[in-house]
Structure 1
Amino acid sequence: METDTKSDGVLTAGGIGSVLRHDLPASLVVFLVAVPLSLGIAVASGAPLAAGLIAGAAGGVVAGLLGGSVAQVSGPAAGLSLVVADLVVTYGWRATCMITLLAGVLQLLLGVCRVARSALAVSPAVVHGMLAGVGVVIALSQLHVVLGGSPQRSAIENLIELPQQIVHNHTHAVFVGLLTIAVLVTWTRLPQRLRTLPAPLAALFAASVTAWALGWEVTRIDLSASLGSWSGPVWPRGDWHGIIGAVLLVALLAGVESLLCSVAVDKLHDGRRSDLDRELTGQGVANIVTGALGGLPVAGVIVRSTTNVRAGARSRWSTIMHGIWILLFAVGLGWMIALIPMEALAALLVFIGVQMVNMGHLRNLRGHSEVPVYVVTMAGVVLLGLAEGVLVGLGLAALFALRRLTRVTVRAMAEPDGRWHVVIAGSLTFLGVPTLTSELRAIPAGAAVDLDLNIDFMDNAAFEAIHDWRNEYERTGGTVNIDEIHDEWYSMAASGARVFPAKTPPRAPDRWWLPWSHRRNGQRVSRQPLVAARHAPRDDGPASPAVPDLLEGAREFHRRTAPLVRPLLHGMARGQEPSHLFITCADSRIVPNLITASGPGDLFTVRNLGNLVPRLGSVPADDSVAAAIEYATGTLNVRTITVCGHSGCGAMAALLSGGEKASGLPAFGRWMRHGNHTLARFIEGESAGEDDGPLDRLCRVNVIQQLENLRTYPQVDRLFRAGHLELVGLYFDIGTARVHLLEHPPIASSPL
């Protein structure tokens, strides 16, 4: 959906057309969803029915007009129903309205102070767990109403009494509730053309008509009594600590839910992003208004907001008009509410409560190991209460965060030469000292130990543990060589220098492996001179995009990467000792160091079109590849020669075309003669089922043929037969970013 960001307060001629075409129909859809939900939440909160409609109207008009989201719809939220129900029991309804008003004042002040972003620091696992717990409590309490009984004082008592309700109550009220739930469950499975009404409205309509037609005895809703007994808010009586706590709880819960809802709704459309401080301010004013008029607390509601976006809303006018429709309905058509059975509203709340336990959130949290926080928060809300459950969830989330921040891993490995290699990674604090000392003391005495500290922080307890172990180990005849990959935490502490508490690992290049075209992001290319001299004359005219990309890439290397690799390269400056000769295609999509996770000094690389290895004595002669093979095996003493082909190779496509794709490229045509043996092998062989068509099979066959061509070089063949040299064939599938090991023969592959 694209929102109309221009019609944000003043309607132009074009804006009026967009409102009539998109926002007006969307507002009617949201209105039809909001009315039954507002009534149901009022029932669950123990508040007058009119309070739900007042909150719906205030949330739509006030929060819609003043809020910072163009698509979010505000109104009474099911997540606050437990809080409101408890406040009504403790202070009375009119005092609860005053608490709502004061909570709105607090939200307004927080929005003016621009602290809305800090509310997003609350763990989503706690928020979703809280909502799930509220949903369970609502469903259990309202299920008793559906079954013709009365809710108990707690969720546990509701659960204990449930079997008795199921066994003994089979009245008309039960049939109405079950019919309502049945319509809600089946409505989304109907064809789209039959679902003209929203599911909640359709369910209440079906239950009301059925109860009226069959003459069932049900409990009717009387909105007139609720409107006729209206009175303003009063100051709550009781302990002022409890009153302040209630104001804080309503303000924070409603505010956090609204802000999280705003962020979620932003993902549903392509228009302007939400101004969270303005949204919190708008929510505050809306709660002031709804509290003064005798309504429920207001918050952003994801169900109505999602409906608004899907219905095609383009601006905040849809939200505003939906609030106006609720107001007109309450004033002019309130008599229709008397036709709705109370048991049908209770069944709607049961359905809403079950939906609040969203399994999709569990799947998202599982990947971050936050499911325990979700489950504990939900259980705490159900068993202990809303505030207590949230506090328990926040405490567990804080413990999990502390555990992640202080996690340390210690790996001790024995090398073939008798040395021990120990890698310590993470944040070294006193919490990790037991694990650290246990692993270090397991190293045999008298060995040479290479200790790598890949850490971003070290406190005094961790330093003393390592330092004491090192001194003791060296006294028993061993040696310890400590190498710090990041900042020198150990060295500074050992020298008595002041260690700053901040974590300061050097910043790695941002997504260095991306192509230049994916890293521009509209940034201006710097024109500062490179460290190395530029031999080409400077041209003040327009430059090719590749030139500034290349120069900026070099500057990026000097600025970020060079400081990291300089110590490594300094040790290699006098000579190279690669272990592999890596022969691959010149294709720009193949990056040998990337697909093999290798670094400087590992690969002695040869690249050409088609990753070809001309046979010894072939015509036309090629000394370039032959010279590289001789130098790698005779001087560098490499232990492995790897030939790496790839999918969609242009050289192999030219070979498969019989030279047609090489027409007009004489040098390319002569070079491709070295692929004749590959072509002959391809024609004689058959597919092993591992390939994806003729070109893919030819690319794989070519790798195997080049391995055989390597054996035509006496030095290679002699080392191979003696077991001093290994020949390896790799195949890189570009589309899937997978490297396959090719077996010879037959031509088969296995993913690495």
Structure 2
Amino acid sequence: MKAPSHTADVAASFVVFLVAVPLALAVAVASGAPVAAGLVAAVVGGIAGGLAGGSPLQVSGPAAGLAVVVAELVHAYGWRATCGVTLLAGVLQVALGTARIARAALAVSPAVVQGMLAGVGLALVLSQLHVMLGGRPQGSAVANLTELPGRLVRAHGPSVGVAVATIAVLLLWTYVRRRYEGGGRATGAVLRVPAAVPAVVVASAGAWALHWDVPRVDLPERLFDGWRPPVLPDAPVHEIVGAVAAVAVVAAVESLLSAVAVERRRPDGVARADLDRELLGQGAANAVSGLLGGVPVAGGIVRGTANLDAGARTRASCVLHGVWVLVAVVGGAALVERIPLSALAGILVVLGFRMLDTARLRDLWNHREVPVHVATAAGVLLLGLGEGVLAGMAVAGVLALRRLTRLTVRVEEAVPSADDRPDRPTWHVVVEGTLTFLGVPRLSRALAAVPPGAKVDLDLNVDFMDHAAFEAVHRWRLGHERLGGGVDIDEVHESWYERAVTGDLSGQRKSAPGSRWWAPWANRRRRPATAPGAAPGTPSDLLLSGIREYQGQTAPLVRPIMSELAFEQKPKHLFITCVDSRVVPNIITASGPGDLFINRNVGNMVPRHGSVPPDDSVAATVEYALNVLGIRTITVCGHSNCGAMAALLAGGKEVEHLASLSRWIRHGEPSLARFMEAEPAPDESPMTRLCRLNVVQQLENLESYPWLRALVDSGELELVGLYLDLETADVHMLDRASGTFGPVPGDHRTSV
């Protein structure tokens, strides 16, 4: 393991410092606090949070997510009382960290967290629009919204010009950075400068050159001029407790979620994060910040990402960034005071819109959690942060209860068979879900629709049945049979009804599957019966034994699905992956019959348009998928330790005796060329790098087909890159803008 580079930490700390200063000033202005309070929080967050925290590469500073809350506290109780709340919130965080319950904060539904951030982002945008227009924000989001038309009429032209210029530079710099990242060392060094720095420089220089009279940052002569100790709010105890809890919990959740996100990108050789220690460090930083007159502190993903991207390896970069902020305030106050407030407002408006994170809405929509997100965001916007979070958690609880008690009942007359009597039709009743007293009325109405005297096949596909539900089913069965009908009950999973009838209640719990269907044959610990004509223990014997297991256990369960798919397929994705036996697409995507249209080949390769030697096998699959099946997502999935990539690295010598394979491997030459041109990544083996770059190259190969590229450009087709690490069984997703692989969005597992 290589020793951490302190030179890299010094360089990274300066990059983070460039991000922290404008963000600290902007958060302070948005919070209604003294401007110096943001700088105090940046210094304390960097030094105290960096030294005491448990996430080495997380950078703490003014919490943008709490700006609206702090503004409400300042408006209600004054600044010194707000500092008192911040100090007590820090003490509470220290107590929570000492109790080692940091992970409990991660139990909050991601939909609630995202909704909270979206609500705060909207409130931030509404408040800072007033500053952009030359005015002052109102006391609430509703007031900001209602007063906005009048402020638009009285807009201050120079302030609007400065804000628009700031936003334009921010967006343009971000676009150029994504477009030309990796274009060379000189270009890369320039583009690594955070977008907020050129935006503030251009806006400040433009306002100075044009002699625009706009409100600017006003710093005290010394950072702690006019300091007075914090006090408690003049309010009832329950209000004080609520304010302290709101600041402590929101800052803690924001910090811990950010720490987990940073941990997922942790480079090799860097110490792992300790969430309990991180909460202790955040508490210490907040206590000191409140004592010295700073705004609340939290770990931020913006600063943490900048720290990672700049090459930080130890907590020294976090601490040094706080030192640079202190030096800048002491020695460069004159420059800071030239920054227009509307420029800072422009930065916060962009940050507020980014907090909406519309990309997450797709995941929430797929998981049917959009109501939680909307309820939280609306509650934060209209009622306040604490009320909004409670509203979101209440909606999440209702949805969870509804899912836990979800019940589906289908009643239909079965197709007559040769054995059925014409005067006695067979009816089919299917009950699926959780059968409790809440579902008894629906079940009773459905069963009442079955004609007296009919033969009934009742399928109970339920994961739980309480006594009230059993009584309802049993009474109906006895009554139906007394009237001459017949009832055949088939329990698909657990025998809840049978056990209740026999009185054997000891085994009423979910049992593990009898066979791990996803495991290799060798891991099943079973002796397959020898097939006729096959030698004992041969591969064909294993194959036939597996088929018999499928026929006995799996086929009855999937038969209804297969019957629906028998005459038409409607897959959602084209999945291009390697023929490697260790890559099983349906396992790593948790998909079933009819979901994936799969193309497998050596090296998960896509021959380029007009390639030599020509090969249309993959192109034919793509054409059929897009033009016949209407698929609009293509995924290329590579994997570690790929034999095709190993052959490429060896120059094809290992397979030169295999003529067909040698010709096919030549389609990987663009991947090898990309590998030779790319700079080696630290702590990454050549094989791993080539396997990952091959996925990037195959997506570009797909786009070499003009008709396919047209679909991508029009937004009708999405290309996705995945990488399966065989050793860890983890799937990583390609960020095409940066060319790097990271966690799959919405994957909230932690490795800390």
Aligned to 1:280: 279
Report the CA distance between 1:181 and its aligned residue.
1.4
1:56 maps to 2:52: no
Aligned to 2:512: 507
Q: 1:467 to 1:97 in 2, by over 3 A?
A: same
The amino acid that maps onto 1:218 is: V
Equivalent of 1:217, from 204, 213, 228? Answer: 213
Q: Which moved more, 1:332-341 or 1:504-513?
A: 504-513
Equivalent of 1:420, from 427, 446, 450? Answer: 427
Equivalent of 2:191, from 189, 195, 206? Answer: 195
Q: Which moved more, 1:411-420 or 1:177-186?
A: 411-420
CA–CA distance in structure 2, aligned partners of residues 589 and 224 of structure 1:
80
Equivalent of 1:254, from 251, 254, 279? Answer: 251
CA–CA distance in structure 2, aligned partners of residues 509 and 19 of structure 1:
55
1:26 maps to 2:12: yes
Q: 1:591 to 1:334 in 2, by over 3 A?
A: farther
Aligned to 1:66: 52
Report the CA distance between 1:340 and its aligned residue.
0.6
Q: 1:507 to 1:181 in 2, by over 3 A?
A: same
Report the CA distance between 1:472 and its aligned residue.
2.1
Report the CA distance between 1:169 and its aligned residue.
2.1
Report the CA distance between 1:138 and its aligned residue.
1.0
CA–CA distance in structure 2, aligned partners of residues 180 and 430 of structure 1:
60
Any conservation in 2 of the 1:103–1:247 contact (CA below 8 Å)?
yes
Q: What SS does the aligned partner of 2:265 have?
A: coil
Aligned to 1:147: 133
- Map Cα deviations across residues 337-381 of structure 1 (whole Å, 9 max, x no partner): 111111111121111111111111112212111112111211121
Q: 1:252 to 1:595 in 2, by over 3 A?
A: farther
Q: Which moved more, 1:441-450 or 1:231-240?
A: 441-450
Report the CA distance between 1:478 and its aligned residue.
1.4
Report the CA distance between 1:293 and its aligned residue.
1.4
Q: What SS does the aligned partner of 2:203 have?
A: helix
Q: What SS does the aligned partner of 1:456 have?
A: strand
The amino acid that maps onto 2:379 is: G
The amino acid that maps onto 2:196 is: P
Q: What SS does the aligned partner of 1:120 have?
A: helix
The amino acid that maps onto 2:552 is: G
Q: What SS does the aligned partner of 2:227 have?
A: coil
CA–CA distance in structure 2, aligned partners of residues 587 and 424 of structure 1:
39
Cα-Cα RMSD: 3.4
Q: 1:416 to 1:19 in 2, by over 3 A?
A: farther
Any conservation in 2 of the 1:57–1:326 contact (CA below 8 Å)?
yes
Report the CA distance between 1:243 and its aligned residue.
0.4
CA–CA distance in structure 2, aligned partners of residues 647 and 390 of structure 1:
46
1:311 maps to 2:310: yes
Report the CA distance between 1:409 and its aligned residue.
2.3
Q: 1:510 to 1:201 in 2, by over 3 A?
A: farther
- Map Cα deviations across residues 634-692 of structure 1 (whole Å, 9 max, x no partner): xxxxxxxxxxxx9889xxxxxxxxxxxxxxxxxxxxxxxxxxxxxxxxxxxxx9x9689
Any conservation in 2 of the 1:23–1:315 contact (CA below 8 Å)?
yes
Equivalent of 1:456, from 451, 456, 463? Answer: 463
CA–CA distance in structure 2, aligned partners of residues 691 and 416 of structure 1:
41
Q: Which runs of 5+ in 1 are unaligned?
A: 5-13, 517-549, 559-568, 570-575, 577-584, 604-645, 650-686, 693-752
Aligned to 1:204: 200
The amino acid that maps onto 1:78 is: A
CA–CA distance in structure 1, aligned partners of residues 172 and 516 of structure 2:
48
Report the CA distance between 1:499 and its aligned residue.
7.4
Q: 1:392 to 1:265 in 2, by over 3 A?
A: same
The amino acid that maps onto 1:553 is: R
CA–CA distance in structure 2, aligned partners of residues 440 and 317 of structure 1:
70
Aligned to 2:360: 361
CA–CA distance in structure 2, aligned partners of residues 326 and 440 of structure 1:
72
CA–CA distance in structure 2, aligned partners of residues 195 and 174 of structure 1:
27
Aligned to 1:670: none
Any conservation in 2 of the 1:224–1:335 contact (CA below 8 Å)?
no
The amino acid that maps onto 2:194 is: P
Aligned to 1:445: 452
CA–CA distance in structure 1, aligned partners of residues 314 and 357 of structure 2:
28
Equivalent of 1:553, from 504, 508, 524? Answer: 524
Q: What SS does the aligned partner of 2:462 have?
A: strand
Q: What SS does the aligned partner of 2:395 have?
A: helix
Any conservation in 1 of the 2:255–2:298 contact (CA below 8 Å)?
yes
Report the CA distance between 1:395 and its aligned residue.
0.5
CA–CA distance in structure 2, aligned partners of residues 511 and 297 of structure 1:
50
CA–CA distance in structure 2, aligned partners of residues 99 and 388 of structure 1:
18
Aligned to 1:228: 225
Aligned to 2:149: 163
Report the CA distance between 1:273 and its aligned residue.
4.1
CA–CA distance in structure 2, aligned partners of residues 235 and 691 of structure 1:
69
Q: What SS does the aligned partner of 1:223 have?
A: coil
TM-score normalised per structure 1: 0.66
Any conservation in 1 of the 2:72–2:140 contact (CA below 8 Å)?
no
Q: 1:97 to 1:168 in 2, by over 3 A?
A: closer
Aligned to 2:24: 38
Report the CA distance between 1:298 and its aligned residue.
1.2
- Map Cα deviations across residues 198-238 of structure 1 (whole Å, 9 max, x no partner): 11111111111111111110112121166312222122221
Report the CA distance between 1:156 and its aligned residue.
2.9
CA–CA distance in structure 2, aligned partners of residues 158 and 296 of structure 1:
22
Equivalent of 2:483, from 459, 463, 476? Answer: 476
CA–CA distance in structure 2, aligned partners of residues 349 and 468 of structure 1:
65
Q: 1:240 to 1:553 in 2, by over 3 A?
A: same
Aligned to 1:724: none
Aligned to 2:343: 344
Q: 1:304 to 1:592 in 2, by over 3 A?
A: farther
The amino acid that maps onto 2:468 is: A
- Map Cα deviations across residues 393-424 of structure 1 (whole Å, 9 max, x no partner): 11001111111111122234525334334332
Equivalent of 1:132, from 118, 140, 147? Answer: 118
- Map Cα deviations across residues 671-717 of structure 1 (whole Å, 9 max, x no partner): xxxxxxxxxxxxxxxx9x9689xxxxxxxxxxxxxxxxxxxxxxxxx
CA–CA distance in structure 2, aligned partners of residues 440 and 36 of structure 1:
67
Q: 1:82 to 1:591 in 2, by over 3 A?
A: farther
Q: What SS does the aligned partner of 2:296 have?
A: coil
CA–CA distance in structure 2, aligned partners of residues 601 and 42 of structure 1:
61
Report the CA distance between 1:602 and its aligned residue.
7.4
The amino acid that maps onto 1:490 is: Y
The amino acid that maps onto 2:6 is: V
Any conservation in 1 of the 2:227–2:293 contact (CA below 8 Å)?
yes
1:327 maps to 2:326: yes
Report the CA distance between 1:433 and its aligned residue.
2.2
Any conservation in 2 of the 1:59–1:73 contact (CA below 8 Å)?
yes
CA–CA distance in structure 1, aligned partners of residues 272 and 492 of structure 2:
41
The amino acid that maps onto 1:217 is: D
Report the CA distance between 1:33 and its aligned residue.
0.4
Q: 1:592 to 1:479 in 2, by over 3 A?
A: same
Q: 1:181 to 1:468 in 2, by over 3 A?
A: same
Q: Percent identity?
A: 53
Q: What SS does the aligned partner of 1:86 have?
A: helix
Any conservation in 1 of the 2:75–2:139 contact (CA below 8 Å)?
no
CA–CA distance in structure 1, aligned partners of residues 554 and 499 of structure 2:
31
Report the CA distance between 1:239 and its aligned residue.
0.3
Any conservation in 2 of the 1:593–1:599 contact (CA below 8 Å)?
no
Any conservation in 1 of the 2:516–2:524 contact (CA below 8 Å)?
no
Aligned to 1:243: 240
Aligned to 1:90: 76
Report the CA distance between 1:137 and its aligned residue.
0.9
CA–CA distance in structure 2, aligned partners of residues 424 and 258 of structure 1:
45
Aligned to 2:552: 599
Equivalent of 1:106, from 87, 92, 96? Answer: 92
CA–CA distance in structure 2, aligned partners of residues 34 and 508 of structure 1:
53
Q: What SS does the aligned partner of 1:339 have?
A: coil
Any conservation in 1 of the 2:86–2:295 contact (CA below 8 Å)?
yes
The amino acid that maps onto 1:58 is: V
Any conservation in 1 of the 2:217–2:337 contact (CA below 8 Å)?
yes
Report the CA distance between 1:300 and its aligned residue.
1.4
Q: 1:267 to 1:82 in 2, by over 3 A?
A: same
CA–CA distance in structure 2, aligned partners of residues 68 and 443 of structure 1:
64
